Amino acid sequence: MEGFLNSKKKVMFTFTLIITLGFLATSFFSYSVSKNLLQKQITHNDLPLTSDNIYSEIQRDLLQPIFISSLMANDTFLRDWVLSGESDSVQISRYLKEIKEKYNTFNSFFVSEKTKKYYHSEGILKQVNEQEPRDVWYFRVRQMKDTYETNVDVDLANNDTLSIFINYKVFDYHNNFIGVVGVGLAINHVKELIQDYQESYHRRIYLVNPQGNITVKSPVSHFPEKSIFEIPNSEVVLKQILTNKELSNRHHYQLNRSTVYLHSRYIPEFDWYLFVEETEGEAIAAVKNTFLFNIGISLTIAILVLFLTNWLVSGYQKRLELMATIDKLTGIHNRQAFEMLFQQHLKEQNRQYLPFTLLSIDIDHFKLVNDTHGHPVGDSVLQEVTEKISRIIRKEDIFCRWGGEEFLLLLKKCTLEQGCRVADSICQTVRDHQFCQDKSNIDVTVSIGVTEHEQGEEDKQLFERVDKALYLAKGRGRDRYESAALS
């Protein structure tokens, strides 16, 4: 392991050196790029690419609630529960709580058209009323043509926390409106996402509604404005953006004697605009080391590093894994490997349970073999016993040396009766085999404990039971097997 770590250090030093030299080379070429090319690079490549990446991340982080709400709106359980009369509010609360916990949303809710009850994960919150200002959203959603809306509002169920709600219409099997379902995402969480984007891309990022109000920005943003029209010298440009819902727009304007490059993109799912900005001064400092030539060299270096790392580390990893999981003397799995494979098999059983049997195999009087003939002979006996058993079992069975002269054998898809037949075959095969040393035979036999795993049984019970069966076989004269069923 120490040699592996030393080699890894050498490899990492080499890779670091390559990367450093690569960036130094690209920096040299970056400084020679003119300011005009930089402007073109920003407006036509960098900002659009950043905007596309952020849009993709917004789809991943913010559009998931829309997908969740759509699934809820088309969930047969929800519709059947409503159509059956909403008799058990505990069922719908449990359902909403599971949605909330499974998808890590801030809130999940359903409002019934028939009873006007507002259900959420903790029970019935209230009954919506058309005269209540805080319930206007429901009656607006009921009348709208679209199947869902995105709405920024306070969350009654969470101490009036400002949240982004996905309000999704629910229809019965005959396309009759029966309520509104959806989830909420805390606005602070969205602000933190925007903050993460800003830190990752080193650009100002914010979301704007069609009226020009800044709906979401970073919690540590230095933006004092609440509306984009408060930004000096930007009114004409921003009006053009808000009146044109094209996929993307490129603009620039002057602010504090510096040119601001702006890329906007309309997000139809939220009816918002994504604004990504960068000032000329910031661009010079941040972009000059990432021009096209620089990116090309960096990409080549990254591919080279990735290839070398994968090739070299994978080789060491395979060797280490082999050393860590294979018993050196017998060539079969060791105890550590068996424990991992056993746990993996139990997980597979949770998906589709099939019986399996565990055998504990112990070589009789093995200490006497070592004391009489020496440890090299004992090692030879271990190897020959392993070979004989390996020929009897199937490839999918898990066979390991548990320790000393003891072995464990897991027979997949095998009942107790079938496991006993395998144990009997092992006893007979070992008994009949001629273990020769210096032209004299060594009598070798094994004792075996057999037990079948019961569904839902804990590991400890299974191993304790197979140990008892093994001790019983030894106590009854050895050279035999004994079985133990779950009591």
Q: Which residues are known to be catalytic? A: 405
Q: Determine the 3-state secondary structure of 405 from DSSP.
A: coil
Buried b (16+ CB within 10 A) or exposed e, 145-161: eeebbbbebebbbeeee
- What is the distance between the alpha carbons of residues 47 and 457, in angstroms, rounded to a whole number? 58
**Phi, psi (deg, nearest 5) at residue 106:** -75, -30
Nearest to 409 by CA among 385, 428, 432, 377: 385
As given in the structure block, the two tokens for residue 280 are: 């000329």
Residue with tokens 């914010």: 206
**Phi, psi (deg, nearest 5) at residue 460:** -60, -45
CA contacts within 13 A on the Cβ side of 280: 16
Residue with tokens 């921003």: 238
Residue with tokens 């191993």: 463
- What is the distance between the alpha carbons of residues 446 and 427, in angstroms, rounded to a whole number? 6
CA 114 vs. chain centroid, Å, equals: 40
DSSP E strand boundaries for 27-92 = none
What letter represents residue 87's amino acid? S
Nearest to 481 by CA among 443, 441, 451: 451
Q: How many CB atoms lie within 10 A of CB 119?
A: 25
- What is the distance between the alpha carbons of residues 402 and 421, in angstroms, rounded to a whole number? 22
